[in-house]
Amino acid sequence: MDVLQLVISGLANGCVYGLIALGFVMIYKATEAVNFAQGDFMMFGAFITIWLTNTDFVGLPFWLSVILAILIMGVFGYLMERIIIRRMFGQSQIAVVILTIAIGFILRFLAGAIWGHDPLSLESPFAGKEVRFGGLVLGADEVAIILVTLLLTGSLFVFFAKTKLGLAMQAASQNQLAAYYMGIPVKRVHGLIWGLSGMVSAIAGILFAAKGAIDPSAGLLGIKAFAAAVIGGFGSLPGVLIGGLIIGLTEPFASRYIAAGYSQIAPYTILLLVLVFRPAGLFAQMQKKKV
Amino acid sequence: MRFVFKTSYEADIRLFKHKPQMAWYMLLLAVVVALPFLLDEFFIGEATNVLIWAIAGMGLMLLTGHTGQASLGHAAFMAAGCYFNVILLERGVPFIISLPLAGLIAGLIGVIITLPVLRLHGVYLAIATLAISILTEDFIVIAEPWTGGVTGLVAPPMIIFGLEIDRYGTPGLFYYVVLFVVLAVLMVYRNLLRTPTGRAFTAVRDSEISAQAMGINITKTKAMSFGFSATIAGLSGALLGHFAGAFNHETFNVILSIQLLLMIVVGGLGSIHGAFFGAMVVALLPQFIAISRDWVTDLTGFNATTIPGIEAGIFGLIVLLFILFEPNGIYGLWFKIRTYFEMFPFYRKNMFKRQKTYLKTERLR
């Protein structure tokens, strides 16, 4: 029973990592850029939801503010691409990485200046409730997180694999010039994917804030999401979710069975090991290099 | 505009391109040497801080600016240099030996740690080095018997030829020690770039495939670049330890690593000048903010209180603006201004215009 509890809380954590990672893997799939500010997007989405929901602030009904926050973050992501990232079109990957790190710094500062540096938590209808499932008693927030994540990953997978827009996004990533020749509006596709990624990060933020408290430095969680993405192979959506779950499951077990100082290094050790021995991740997309 | 006619091979690899250039740098050196006599104690400390950041910046510049390998983990090598320096000092090793030795150990660690991740490119390398930086922070806590864990260590004063030097007692001498290291690193760096090894670094940066075709051993070149880079970072870490007095694992956290990379981008990737320009921005920004806040208070009577984290926010904004509008950083800006005056009145607006490029995936090459 004890182990099961660890598994469930690990899964719920892993889902949040997976969702953050999902956000930047989507951007990577479609634009070949890596958004190092994804963790900060998540943090910002969470704070917007808290600001809309909590009775100390605006105090809207929960579901209304969730929808509003997702929309706001979608527009935010789209505008981010439109105003800033688009100027970097065609520039090297590392330039975009540095740009997004800078954006992350600014977002963290803004969140701290607006909402303060004290941890806040979301007043969600799941908080403190329980779900009975057979003989099991589970936290409603954890069940919600797992369900939402599975649903979201599934639908995004279908979106990328089956729909016209999803395929256009993948094509735009593989070769921008060739995608232009095939009649794909590459820049508009980029704007849309950043918007979509903003929405996903808002959902991740809402789930994270519903489960525990959040403060402006929570964006650094993005680093753990990198581990998830790398394990999953950086280009595969289900792979990323599994990567997130692996990291999420490792943490509670490591802190349970390994000495205190050593447990928090477990996710990063896994990340390094995967990078060293299987640089393409467990679900490789990398193919043989042609010169 | 000055045209240098090269009549021999020596002329091509000379340290200074022409006499006036040398004269300018000598003037700069004279100003830098005279600085402790011109400034008060507080600003000598700030100047020392700039120089320490500049050493760290040069370390990362060699790797990122000249070899093209972005590292988000240089705080790890700074930490290695800092801790080994103090550990050696505590064991009774004199400072003149412990400082270079700490640098060398950091360099060795740099090579050993990065050998397995050298196969990685671009973003993957950045993520791997980021992980190394985080692991180092945790490792310092774990290795408590040597590193003092969370409480950290206190750097003893440096003793050079019986002269006791510390930051508060003798700020001028401390400044000269740091300046000496800066000049030494600068000489090594400048000379390195003119050797076959240095040329190989730039070749790897510009195109790995063509470098390989020219007979360059890519892995060896990258490892050497990491080694040199980590050595320089280690030296700066050791000096930072003396400058800060006391330090622990949080002195060398991930944010420092990230800040270093952003710093050399602001300064200008691919030029040694960039390391110094970037160091000035990073080290003087907090003072600049404080002074401008007082100025605003005086001017308007409105008491502008500090917003926590404003330094990081403004720094992020500076980086953002530079990447968008001047990707070559402060050095690029200075280069343009200089060219404008050198070519007056023939400067054209689109002289440095970037070519339109399209990105291809790195996954399916």
Confidence of residue B18 (pLDDT cuts 50, 70, 90): confident
CB contacts < 8 Å between A and B, how many?
153
pLDDT for B169 equals: 82
A7 lies within 8 A of chain B by CB: no
Confidence of residue A33 (pLDDT cuts 50, 70, 90): confident
Across residues A98-117, what is the average pLDDT? 90
* Pick from A87, A223, A261: CB nearest B142: A261
| DSSP alpha helix (H) spans, B194-302 | 196-206, 208-213, 218-244, 254-267, 272-300
Query: Whose CA is closest to A218, among A119, A126, A135?
Result: A119
* Pick from B135, B307, B356: CB nearest A268: B135
| A283 within 8 A of A239, measured Cβ to Cβ | yes
- Note if the bond before A267 is cis, omega within 30 degrees: no
Is B56 a residue whose pLDDT tops 60?
Answer: yes
Is A103 a residue whose pLDDT tops 80?
Answer: yes
Both tokens of B196, joined, read: 């076959």
Q: Do B357 and A91 touch (CB under 8 A)?
A: yes
Element (DSSP H or E) covering residue B27: helix B19-38
Mutation site, A101, A117, A288, interface B, largest B CB count within 10 A? A101
| B267 within 8 A of B330, measured Cβ to Cβ | yes
Both tokens of B29, joined, read: 């050196």
B285 lies within 8 A of chain A by CB: no
Q: Do A98 and B141 touch (CB under 8 A)?
A: no
Q: Which residue has the tokens 């694999």?
A: A161
Both tokens of A70, joined, read: 């997702």
B306 lies within 8 A of chain A by CB: no
Across residues B68-97, what is the average pLDDT? 92
Mutation site, B67, B120, B123, B150, interface A, largest A CB count within 10 A? B123
Across residues B63-92, what is the average pLDDT? 92
What single-letter amino acid sits at B230?
A
A266 lies within 8 A of chain B by CB: no
Across residues A111-125, what is the average pLDDT? 84
Strand A136-139, strand A130-133: pairing: antiparallel
Residue A35 — left, alpha, or beta (φ > 0 → left; ψ -120 to 50 → alpha)?
A: beta
Top pLDDT among B305 and B229 is at B229
Beta bridge mates, A214: A120
Q: What is the DSSP letter of B347?
A: -
B173 lies within 8 A of chain A by CB: no
Confidence of residue B297 (pLDDT cuts 50, 70, 90): confident
Confidence of residue A1 (pLDDT cuts 50, 70, 90): low
A163-216: pLDDT as tens digits: 998 888 888 877 788 888 988 888 888 899 999 999 999 999 998 888 878 888
A182 lies within 8 A of chain B by CB: no
| B211 within 8 A of B200, measured Cβ to Cβ | yes
Across residues A65-91, what is the average pLDDT? 90
* Pick from A106, A264, A285: CB nearest B363: A285
Q: Which residue has the tokens 């508060």?
A: B168
Give the separation between CA B79 and CA B247, rounded to whole angstroms.
Answer: 10
Q: Do A102 and B362 touch (CB under 8 A)?
A: no
Return the SS3 of A11.
helix
B315 lies within 8 A of chain A by CB: yes
Element (DSSP H or E) covering residue A83: helix A62-83
* Pick from A98, A109, A227: CB nearest B261: A98
| B125 within 8 A of B69, measured Cβ to Cβ | yes
Mutation site, A272, A277, A290, interface B, largest B CB count within 10 A? A272
Which residues, 6+ apart, have CB-to-CB distance to A165 below 8 Å?
A: A159, A189, A192
pLDDT for B360 equals: 62
What single-letter amino acid sits at A90?
G
B140 lies within 8 A of chain A by CB: no
Q: Distance, in angstroms, between B117 CA and closest chain A CA? A: 6
Top pLDDT among A169 and B305 is at A169
Confidence of residue B102 (pLDDT cuts 50, 70, 90): very high
Q: Do B261 and A117 touch (CB under 8 A)?
A: no
Q: Do A110 and B313 touch (CB under 8 A)?
A: yes
| A24 within 8 A of A223, measured Cβ to Cβ | no
**B104-139 b/e with 16+ CB inside 10 Å = b?**
bbbbebbbebbeebbebbbbbbbbbbbbbbbbbbbb
Provide the total of helices (H) and of strands (E) in chain B, helices listed first. 15, 4
pLDDT for A91 equals: 78
Task: Work out the percent of chain B whose per-residue pLDDT is above 90.
Answer: 47
pLDDT for A281 equals: 67
What single-letter amino acid sits at A176?
Q
Is B98 a residue whose pLDDT tops 80?
Answer: yes
Q: Do A98 and B327 touch (CB under 8 A)?
A: no
Q: What is the DSSP letter of B355?
A: P
> In chain B, which residues have their Cβ closer than 8 Å to the Cβ of A95?
323, 327
Residue B120 — left, alpha, or beta (φ > 0 → left; ψ -120 to 50 → alpha)?
A: beta
Is A134 a residue whose pLDDT tops 90?
Answer: no
Give the separation between CA B197 and CA A221, rounded to whole angstroms.
Answer: 39
Out of A69-78, A249-258, A278-287, pick the least confident. Answer: A278-287
Confidence of residue B203 (pLDDT cuts 50, 70, 90): very high
Integer Rg of chain B from CA: 21
Across residues B276-281, what is the average pLDDT? 94
Give the separation between CA A265 and CA A285, rounded to whole angstroms.
Answer: 27
Confidence of residue B281 (pLDDT cuts 50, 70, 90): very high
**B143-172 b/e with 16+ CB inside 10 Å = b?**
eeeebbbeebbebebbeeeeeebbbeebbe
pLDDT for B305 equals: 64
Both tokens of A37, joined, read: 């500010």
Q: Do A227 and B122 touch (CB under 8 A)?
A: no
Both tokens of B60, joined, read: 């990362």
B130 lies within 8 A of chain A by CB: yes
pLDDT for B365 equals: 43
Query: Whose CA is closest to B135, among A277, A262, A251, A259?
Result: A262
Segments of chain B assigned to CATH 1.10.3470: 39-342
Element (DSSP H or E) covering residue A242: helix A237-257
Task: Work out the percent of chain B whose per-residue pLDDT is above 70.
Answer: 95
B145-198: pLDDT as tens digits: 888 878 888 888 888 887 888 888 888 899 999 999 999 999 999 999 989 999
**Cα-flanking dihedrals φ and ψ of residue B50, to 5°?**
-55, -45
Give the separation between CA A282 and CA A241, rounded to whole angstroms.
Answer: 12
Q: Distance, in angstroms, between B281 CA and closest chain A CA? A: 15
Top pLDDT among B308 and A64 is at A64
Interface of B with A in 17-46 (CB under 8 A): none
Q: What is the DSSP letter of B363?
A: S
> In chain B, which residues have their Cβ closer than 8 Å to the Cβ of A287?
363-365
Q: Which residue has the tokens 């006391």?
A: B246
Give the separation between CA A211 and CA A43, rounded to whole angstroms.
Answer: 13
Is B205 a residue whose pLDDT tops 60?
Answer: yes
Confidence of residue B267 (pLDDT cuts 50, 70, 90): very high
> In chain B, which residues have their Cβ closer than 8 Å to the Cβ of A44?
none
pLDDT for A291 equals: 41
| A143 within 8 A of A131, measured Cβ to Cβ | yes
Mean of per-residue pLDDT scores for chain A: 84
**Cα-flanking dihedrals φ and ψ of residue A55, to 5°?**
-70, -20
pLDDT for A288 equals: 45
Q: Which fold has domain B39-342?
A: ABC transporter involved in vitamin B12 uptake, BtuC (1.10.3470)
A190-to-A81, A90, B154 alpha-carbon distances in Å: 7, 12, 51
pLDDT for A289 equals: 45
B142-to-A60, B135, B136, B137 alpha-carbon distances in Å: 47, 10, 10, 9
**B59 class by beta-carbon count within 10 Å (0-12 exposed, 13-18 middle, 19+ buried):** buried
Across residues A128-152, what is the average pLDDT? 78
Q: Distance, in angstroms, between B3 CA and closest chain A CA? A: 32
Name the packing angle between helices B218-244 and B95-114 (round to 10°).
Answer: 140
Out of A59-63, A230-234, B55-59, B241-245, pick the least confident. Answer: A230-234
> In chain A, which residues have their Cβ closer than 8 Å to the Cβ of B128?
271-272, 275
Q: Do B309 and A88 touch (CB under 8 A)?
A: no
